Amino acid sequence: MLYIIRKWLPIYIFTIFADLRLSDGMIDLLKSGRIDNTLLCELATHPDFVKLMTDLKIFVNGTAVKQMQSANAIVDAMSTTIIKQYNPDISDPQLRQLIAAHVDDESFCRYVIQQDMNRIASHLRKAHRNDFFTVRMDNPLKGFLQAADEAVSPDSAPEKASLVFICKRLRLNYDLLKNPITQRGRK
């Protein structure tokens, strides 16, 4: 029975990949090691990812652009009518509002997509802020000044204060340097 499962397993896996509709290029990219697959999985499973993909699809297929163009046509027609009837100055507030209401359709759609991506990226960054390889976002001078304050005392010699400061910055134990334990003669 185990032999039959092994024999059919590649077909089962192929069916799963076929259902996912992953292109050969995507599979090659995932196998290549050029991207962080774990981070890609976190991105794709983020609750806002579906919204990002929906907004991206709307942008790519032109649905939103068409609607924005229709809204812009109405604004442009109103602007033209007002200019013909009243000949307002370019600084007229109502005319400026109509001009400002004309939206660059592609820029707007890209803005919406960028906002989706920013929310996801910020959430992922917060989720990983305590990871070992994540760069700390604190003030670099804070630790420097704290180590300096701890190293300097009114009665300490400048050499000792310097050595304590260096040990704190390198996260070394000053007491071990002060009283080294020799290993000679120990078995």
Share of the chain above pLDDT 70, in %: 75
- Does residue 56 sit in the same domain as residue 2? no
- Does residue 7 sit in the same domain as residue 63? no
- Does residue 46 sit in the same domain as residue 13? no
- Give the mean pLDDT of the chain: 81
- Res 2: pLDDT: 38
User: Which of the residue ranges 71-80, 110-119, 165-174 has the most confident prediction, judged by mean pLDDT?
Assistant: 110-119
- Does residue 145 sit in the same domain as residue 172? yes
What domain range includes position 131?
37-137
- Does residue 21 sit in the same domain as residue 80? no
- Res 69: pLDDT: 87
Q: Secondary structure of 114-163 in the HEC alphabet?
A: HHHHHHHHHHHHHHCCCCCCCCCCCCHHHHHHHHHHHHCCCCCCHHHHHH
Q: In the chain, what is the straight-line distance between the N-terminal and C-terminal CA atoms, in Å?
A: 58
**How many domains does the chain contain in total?**
3
**Rounded CA separation 158/163 (Å):** 9
Task: Write the CB contacts of 174 (distance below 8 Å, at least 6 apart in sequence).
Answer: 163, 164, 167, 168
The pTM score is 0.57
- Does residue 1 sit in the same domain as residue 62? no
- Does residue 24 sit in the same domain as residue 41? no
Domain annotation covers residue 26: yes
What is the rounded average pLDDT of the residues 11-15? 61
- Res 1: pLDDT: 37
**Rounded CA separation 151/38 (Å):** 42
- Does residue 87 sit in the same domain as residue 118? yes
Domain annotation covers residue 186: no
- Does residue 113 sit in the same domain as residue 42? yes
Task: Write the CB contacts of 116 (distance below 8 Å, at least 6 apart in sequence).
Answer: 48, 51, 52, 55
Q: What is the pLDDT of residues 76-88, one digit of tens each?
A: 998 888 889 999 9
**Rounded CA separation 79/102 (Å):** 10
Structure tokens of 111?
């803005």
**Rounded CA separation 25/21 (Å):** 11
Domain annotation covers residue 48: yes
- Does residue 70 sit in the same domain as residue 99? yes
- Res 57: pLDDT: 93
Q: What is the pLDDT of residues 89-136, one digit of tens each?
A: 988 898 888 888 888 888 888 899 999 999 999 999 999 888 877 776
Q: What is the pLDDT of residues 24-38, one digit of tens each?
A: 899 899 999 999 999
How remote is the C-alpha of 29 from its chain's centroid? 20
Structure tokens of 130?
């305590």
Domain annotation covers residue 17: yes
Residue 5 reports pLDDT greater than 50: no
Residues 100, 48, 40, 65: is their CA dihedral positive or negative? Answer: negative
- Does residue 118 sit in the same domain as residue 163? no
